[in-house]
Structure 1
Amino acid sequence: MSEPALVALRGASFAYEDGPAVIGGLDFDIREGRALALLGRNGSGKTTLMRLLSGGLKPHEGRLTVEGRPVSYDRTGLTRLRTTVQLVVQDPDDQLFAASVEQDVSFGPLNLGLPDAEVRARVAEALDALDIAALAGRPTHLLSYGQRKRTAIAGAVAMRPRVLVLDEPTAGLDPDGQERLLTTLDGLRARGTTVVMATHDVDLALRWADDAALLTPTGVRTGPAPTVLARTDLLREAGLRLPWGAAAAALLRAQGVLTESAPGPRTPDDLAALAAGLRLGTGGSGA
């Protein structure tokens, strides 16, 4: 029998006051150690799902579990949940409120009642992980947008969660900022943090994620990212386009360049390497 998901929703339903159900009868798993991309059209329920996973909302029906144990929504239960799951919202200005970077990042650990030395250690660790240690004393209102994004993520990382849930973390960042953030997320994963990213960017999801979850009107469809993101029927149902990498892989297979079992390109660099191999006469078999 397989181990339970690290975090799971079972039969979860939720509707806002005087509104229709946003989520109904949903089963959803976060598996430890897997990078998961959450995708869907506007209004599909991505934000609601993330808030249910992090305890910001309570399902009207169904339950949330951590390692198979139901979450209780009292102070003790929510504290336990928030040391397991941390949500970083899309707009950092909705999350930052303290006068300086260091003060903002320290807020969560202080609320846990940790000793001062432990708080300082966690803040230093989080600032270092997000590559913003030099900004510790800077007023938050003087930060660039990308710096505010990193500060908001650092505040979550300082809680040392096992799962970090990010809502559109690359939105509003220039290409260099996006690359730096993805490198940071790779570093967090290497340290043992499971990362869930909500995004509209199917190309980013294909490049970055191990698994993809598509929110569609008929339910959530989850599986390995290269497989799920090549399903034009599911993408159409979710209101998303085909990633260029999946389209390129289909063309390469149709031309006999790749075998059916060979992985397709996930990035332009992957495609360039494949083309270089073909020019050298070493890539034609698709092996």
Structure 2
Amino acid sequence: MSEPSAPREREASETLVALRAASYAYEEGPTVLSGLDFDVTEGRALALLGRNGSGKTTLMRLLSGGLRPDQGGLTLGGTPVTYDRKGLTRLRTTVQLVVQDPDDQLFAASVEQDVSFGPLNLGLSDAEVRARVAEALAALDISALADRPTHLLSYGQRKRTAIAGAVAMRPRVLILDEPTAGLDPDGQERLLDTLQGLRDAGTTVVMATHDVDLALRWADDAALLTPSGVRTGPVAQMLAHRDLLAQAGLRLPWGIAVSELLRTKGLLDVAGEGPRTPEELAALTAPAMPGASAG
């Protein structure tokens, strides 16, 4: 991985939201997470990976205030979160969760009405609500759908509308549960471009996914949820640990496997950054253009 710029390093020093010694068990069920310390760091795109039932959804709901730890606690900017109306409003203006199925999140008659719901509940002026809705629709490239009934949207459009509703709250942390699931390749690329735009504008994005290739390509850091706990670190390092991947029920990413092959063939330096996509591999291995000068 290339080194981040100096501004990103300064941003990345701040922990926005964190769980401390947090445990959670569903009623009459086993403990899902136990004694967990987990940080979401500003400026770092984080991928959550693990097998079904590993606790990804529980972790996301704990971070966003949808669940309350049985033990331990949640902090926001270093301050413990309280679960009264004031504390939860403070949390949800900073952290927003978008669930996997947009139909579980959309309920208003039109796109504009749905996206405006959160800002209206903050008690903002009509002018401020309109500004936030317009900003969110533009960020998700669905301004033309503002008046469209939500039941007439395609699946990809419903995904974007659900994310726009979260973006309209202007959170510092956006948590997405399998945002690319169900999208065709073009829809996935468009959504990833949108998420990059949100990151560039200062939003920290956390994404739960089963797609190790997507995680390697997109994330700065990866958190692997295993039976022995959560392990977090730089994405290329974490996704090269075969034992951890096996514990998490994941396969080796394509880019890691290709990089290992290139190194054994002497085509990539030991410390060199390997390709993360087929396009990067093609660019790395392409011969010099005929007639190109060395100067």
Q: TM-score scaled to structure 2, two decimals? A: 0.93
- 1:100 equivalent in alignment to 2:110: yes
- 1:262 equivalent in alignment to 2:272: yes
- 1:223 equivalent in alignment to 2:233: yes
Note the 1:269-284 alignment, pairs <5 A. 269-276=279-286, 279-280=287-288
| CA distance in structure 1 between the partners assigned to 2:41 and 2:126 by the alignment | 33
Counterpart code for 2:210: H
Structure 1 match to 2:129 = 119
Q: CA deviation at 1:75?
A: 0.3
| CA distance in structure 2 between the partners assigned to 1:126 and 1:181 by the alignment | 14
Structure 1 match to 2:40 = 30
Structure 1 match to 2:188 = 178
Structure 2 match to 1:162 = 172
| CA distance in structure 1 between the partners assigned to 2:155 and 2:93 by the alignment | 26
Counterpart code for 1:102: E
Q: For 1:77, which of 87, 110, 119 is the aligned residue?
A: 87
Q: CA deviation at 1:280?
A: 2.6
- 1:209 equivalent in alignment to 2:207: no
Deviating 4+ runs (over 3 angstroms): none
Q: For 1:40, which of 24, 46, 50 is the aligned residue?
A: 50
Structure 2 match to 1:285 = none
Structure 2 match to 1:109 = 119
| CA distance in structure 2 between the partners assigned to 1:175 and 1:29 by the alignment | 31
Structure 1 match to 2:203 = 193
RMSD: 1.1
- 1:240 equivalent in alignment to 2:275: no
Q: CA deviation at 1:3?
A: 5.1
Q: For 2:156, which of 142, 146, 162 is the aligned residue?
A: 146
| Structure 1 gaps, min length 5 | 282-287
Q: CA offsets, 1:219-252, max 9 Å, x none? A: 1111111111111111011110000000001111
| Structure 2 gaps, min length 5 | 1-11, 290-295
- 1:132 equivalent in alignment to 2:127: no
SS of aligned partner of 1:128 = helix
Q: TM-score scaled to structure 1, two decimals? A: 0.95
Name the count of aligned residue pairs: 278
SS of aligned partner of 2:147 = coil
Q: CA deviation at 1:275?
A: 1.0
Decide whether the 8 Å contact of 1:6 with 1:67 is kept in 2: yes
| CA distance in structure 1 between the partners assigned to 2:257 and 2:264 by the alignment | 11
| CA distance in structure 2 between the partners assigned to 1:229 and 1:195 by the alignment | 19
Q: CA offsets, 1:136-176, max 9 Å, x none? A: 00000000000000000000000000000000000000000
